Structure 1
Amino acid sequence: MGAELGSGLTSLFVVTLVAAVTPILVGLLGRFRIPQVVLLLIGGVVVGPHVLGLADPDSIALLSNVGLGFLFLLAGYELELGLFRQRAGTLAVTGWLVSAGLAAAVVGGLEALAVVRDFLPVALALTTTALGTLLPILRDNQMLGGPFRSYILASGAVGEFLPVLAIAILLGSYGRFVGLVSLAGMGLFALGLSVLLPKLMRGRRLARIMAEGEDATTQATLRWTITLLLLLLVIASDFGLDVVLGAFIAGVVLRRWAPGNTEGLERKLDAIGYGFFIPIFFVSSGMGLAVQSVAEAPARLLLFFVLLLIVRGLPTLLVYRTALPWAARLELVFIVSTALPVLVALTTIGLETGKMLPENAAALVGAGVLSVLVYPSIAVAINHRHRARRSR
């Protein structure tokens, strides 16, 4: 028992050290603007069992899963359901469905050629978008202003939300039909929570207690938020669904329920999530990557990198042809083709359920890392060039 605890603490220390060093490296790299998630994954590879062997991912598995939960809690919280009643939401869903059909055709062909044997997870991976990773980059370059903002947010939200639903149904541990029924049950439970919790908060005494403890040592709102997250993670697990769905639903419910100072709560969740749990998830994911298989077959990584652009990005040119001018559509192509956090989660789940080959998981994550490094930079360059032309 003592040896296991010591091993776990050592691994946790190494992982948190990687997380602590990462923002310093980002600052030192300056104008290269490498997203932290990329450095966290690379750090995990370096300290993991495939390179230096300084840390064991199994010893911090629980904390890593909670980090995955926090990642999707915050993604669900950012989801603006009102967007789906607007044109931007309709086009985003249409674009994702076109990408899903194209992914099925392309990955089906690769499976027929014996390039892949894990059709579902690979096909779903090609339809994802890294909205959370993109937002800081887009904000820094003033690309979230005007009507274009709604199209970016809607396409990004769909690129996170619909793959998560598909993961729950198609990659669930109990089969697709049961997964669909379980998903419906989770949806009804979440709907009940979203109606019940605000009503409970209307009671004067309970509302006063929560307000008084919001910023005190009791941290009442934050404690109940984490309890809600863990409750839905437990229920999702018991329903045979993956934790990403429970966490995502928790975020959606929290957006409707959050009492008191919501801005303060958001800052606390960001501090706990991005300050501790989420970096652990990404470093742990890097530790589990079979980097040797990527080195042995780099063409597989480059293939997935190009397919992210073809499958997820190129349909944008057609779907948004009457909504956006050419330059904006071209920007959106590279924005929606950027994929990493959902992709990392999906490959993690695929490996755990035995539905994804290690070499494909590593190549997909590598392609996601490359997409974060390359595609947003191209989108920013197109945006700056277009703005320069308009200012002449």
Structure 2
Amino acid sequence: MGSELGSGLTSLFVVTLVAAVAPVVVGLLGRLRVPQVVVLLVGGVIVGPHVLGLADPDSIALLSNVGLGFLFLLAGYELELSLFRQRAGGLAVTGWLVSAALAAAVVGGLAALGVVRAFLPVALGLTTTALGTLLPILRDNDMLRGRFAPYVLAAGAVGEFLPVVAIAILLGSYGRFVGLFSLVGMGLFALLLAVALPRLVRGRRISRILSEGEDATSQLTLRWTIALLLLLLVVASDFGLDVVLGAFVAGVVLRHWAPGNIQGLERKLDTIGYGFFIPIFFVSSGMGLAVESIAKAPARLFLFFFLLLIVRGLPTLLVYRNALPWARRFELVFIVSTALPVLVALTTIGLETGKMLPENAAALVGAGALSVLVYPSLAVSVDHRNRARRGR
């Protein structure tokens, strides 16, 4: 027991050290504009079992899953459901459906050639967008502004949420019918929470207790928010669904019931999520990358990297042609082509079921990591160029 605890603490220390060093590295790299997420992933590879062996991902698996939960909680919280009653939401869904059809055709061809064994996980992976990963990058570069913001948030949310729904139905542990039934049950439970919690909070006595305790040592609102997140993670897990879905739903529910000082709660969630749990998830993901498989077949990684752009990004130019000017559509291409967290979930499922080749799993996650390194940086460069042009 003592040795296991010591090993877990050592791994946690190494991971948190990587997380602390990452912003310093980003600052030293300066104009290269390397996203912090990439530094965390590379740091995880270096300290993980495939390189230096300083940390064991299994010993921090629970904290990593909570970090993944926080990532999608914050992504779900950013989502304004009213977007889907607007043009931005309709175009986002259309764009994802076009990507899904294109992914089916492309991956079907790869499967026929024997390059891919797991058709569904790979095809779904090519339709994902890492909104949770993108949010800090977009915020830091002031790219969530004006009429462009709803299109970015809607496209990102759809690219994150619909693949997770598809995972629940098509790749669930207990079959497709049970997966669909579980998804409906999860939705009804979330709807019940969304209706019941605001009514509970409106009670004078409860409201007073929450408002008095939200900034005191009890941190009452924050504790209830974390309890809500963990509750929906547990429910999603018990329903046989991915924890990503539970976390995303928790963020959506939280947006509708969060009491008291909303801005204060957002700052606290950012502090806990981005300050501790989310970096652990990314470092742990890097530790799990089978770099030797990527080294043996680097062409697969670059194939998936470019397919993310072709399948997920290029349809944007057509779908949004009447909604956004060319420069903005070009920017959105790189934003929606960025993928990673859902890719990690998909490859995990593919490996557990034995349907996905290990080299494809490593290459797909590696392509996601490379997309996080390259595509947001290109989007930021396009945005800066557009601003400079408008400022002339």
TM-score class, shorter = over 0.9
Helix, strand or coil for the counterpart of 2:115? coil
Number of the residue aligned with 2:204: 204
Q: Which runs of 5+ in 2 are unaligned?
A: none
The residue that corresponds to 1:66 in the other structure is 66
Match of 2:161 in 1: 161
> Tell me, what secondary structure is at the counterpart of 1:145?
coil
Is the alpha carbon distance of 1:300 and 1:7 closer, same or farther for their aligned partners in structure 2, counting shifts above 3 Å? Answer: same
Question: How does 1:86-105 map onto structure 2 within 5 Å?
Answer: 86-105=86-105
Aligned residue number for residue 356 of structure 2: 356
CA change 1:140–1:247 in 2 (3 A) is closer
Within 1, Cα distance between the matches of 2:226 and 2:390?
47
Q: Which stretch has the larger CA shift, 92-101 or 47-56? A: 47-56
2:10 is aligned to 10
> Who is 2:377 aligned against?
377
Letter in 2 for 1:344: V
From the superposition, tell whether residues 134 and 244 of structure 1 become closer, same or farther in structure 2 (CA, over 3 Å): closer
Offset at 1:343? 2.4
Which residue in the other structure is 1:144 paired with?
Answer: 144
Q: Deviations over 1:212-256 (max 9, x none)?
A: 111111111111111111111111111111111111111111111
Change (3 A) 1:14 1:354: farther
Q: Which residue number corresponds to residue 48 of structure 1?
A: 48
Q: Distance in 2 between matches of 1:391 and 1:216?
A: 46
Distance 1:139 1:250, change over 3 A: closer
Quickly say closer, same or farther: Cα 1:390–1:22, change in 2 above 3 A: closer
Match of residue 299 from structure 1: 299
Distance 1:93 1:79 in 2: 14
The letter for the 2-side match of 1:72 is: F
Letter in 1 for 2:376: P
> Partner amino acid for 1:307?
L
Q: In structure 2, what is the Cα distance between the partners aligned to 1:35 and 1:293?
A: 24
Q: Does structure 2 retain, via aligned residues, the 8 Å contact 1:91–1:320?
A: yes
User: Within 5 A, what are the aligned runs for 1:271-282?
Assistant: 271-282=271-282
**RMSD across aligned positions (CA):** 1.6
Correspondence 1:81 to 2:81? yes
Q: Does the Cα contact within 8 Å between 2:37 and 2:372 map onto a contact in 1? A: no
Q: Secondary structure at the match of 2:383?
A: helix
Q: For residues 107-146 of structure 1, what are the structure 2 equivalents within 5 Å?
A: 107-146=107-146
- How far apart are residue 112 of structure 1 and its match? 1.0
CA contact (8 A) 1:130 1:160 kept: yes
> Does the CA-based 8 Å contact 2:22-2:39 persist in structure 1?
yes
Distance 1:276-1:350 versus aligned 2 partners, 3 A rule: farther
Contact 1:8 1:60 in 2 (8 A): yes
- The answer on whether the counterparts of 1:211 and 1:260 sit within 8 Å (CA) in structure 2 is yes
Residues 70 and 278, structure 2, Cα contact 8 Å, conserved in 1: yes
Q: Is residue 47 of structure 2 the alignment partner of residue 33 of structure 1? A: no
Please tell me whether residue 256 in structure 1 is matched to residue 235 in structure 2.
no
Does the aligned pair in 2 maintain the 1:68–1:345 contact within 8 Å?
Answer: no
User: Alpha carbons of 1:50 and 1:309: their partners in 2 closer, same or farther (altered >3 Å)?
Assistant: same
Query: Percent of counterpart pairs with the same letter?
Result: 85
Is the 8 Å Cα contact of residues 289 and 358 (structure 1) preserved in structure 2? no
Q: How many Å apart are 1:13 and its aligned residue?
A: 1.1
Q: Which residue of 2 aligns with 1:189?
A: 189
The amino acid that maps onto 1:36 is Q
- Taking a change above 3 Å as real, the CA distance of residues 33 and 387 of structure 1, as seen in their structure-2 partners, is closer
Which whole-Å CA distance do the structure 2 matches of 1:5 and 1:336 have between them?
A: 41
Which amino acid is 2:319 matched to?
Answer: V
- Separation (CA, whole Å) in 2 of partners of 1:136 and 1:229: 20
| Partner in structure 1 of residue 314 of structure 2 | 314
Cα 1:204–1:140 shift into 2, 3 Å: closer
Q: Deviations over 1:240-278 (max 9, x none)?
A: 111111111111111111111111111111111111111
In 2, the alpha carbon distance for the partners of 1:210 and 1:387 equals 43
- For residue 234 of structure 2, what is the aligned residue in structure 1? 234
Letter of the 2:374 partner, please give it: V
Contact 2:289 2:366 (C-alpha < 8 Å) held by counterparts: no
Offset from partner CA, 1:139-163 (integer Å, 9 cap, x none): 4444433322221121111111111
Distance 1:382 1:275 in 2: 29
Contact 1:111-1:117 within 8 A present in 2 as well: yes
Equivalent in the alignment of 2:22: 22
SS at match of 1:114: coil
Give distance in 2, aligned partners of 1:129 and 1:115.
23
Length, aligned pairs only: 392
1:375 Cα deviation after fit? 2.0
Deviation (angstroms), 1:308: 0.5
Q: Which runs of 5+ in 1 are unaligned?
A: none
Q: Which amino acid aligns with 2:276?
A: F
Q: In structure 2, what residue type is equivalent to 1:326?
A: W
1:65–1:385: structure 2 CA closer, same or farther, 3 Å change rule? closer
